[in-house]
Amino acid sequence: MSQATFTTEAFTCPSCVKKIETAVGRIDGVSNVDVGFNSSRVNVNFDKEQVKAEDIGKIIADLGYPVLKTKVK
């Protein structure tokens, strides 16, 4: 299992958090999504055999939250 942290532009409302959690949580290979409203960070546990961190970041950006930094462990 891999972990990625995506730093985005600031969230403006709590519904932003739910929107990201729902969309990213539906991706095959993602086992956990934790969105920090105050930190503007999205922590994702995923199976790198099923999905790439870049693809997760693209989905976050496509939702309207540009990814400024990605850290993968």
Antiparallel, parallel or unpaired: β 2-8 and 67-72: antiparallel
pLDDT exceeds 90 at position 21: yes
4 three-class SS: strand
57: confidence class by pLDDT, cuts 50, 70, 90: very high
C-beta of residue 71 within 8 angstroms of C-beta of residue 2: no
Res 53: pLDDT: 98
pLDDT exceeds 90 at position 13: no
What gap in Å lies between CA 31 and CA 48, rounded to an integer?
Answer: 11
Assign a CATH topology to domain 2-72.
Alpha-Beta Plaits (3.30.70)
pLDDT exceeds 90 at position 40: yes
User: Average pLDDT of 54-72?
Assistant: 97
What gap in Å lies between CA 44 and CA 31, rounded to an integer?
Answer: 8
Res 25: pLDDT: 98
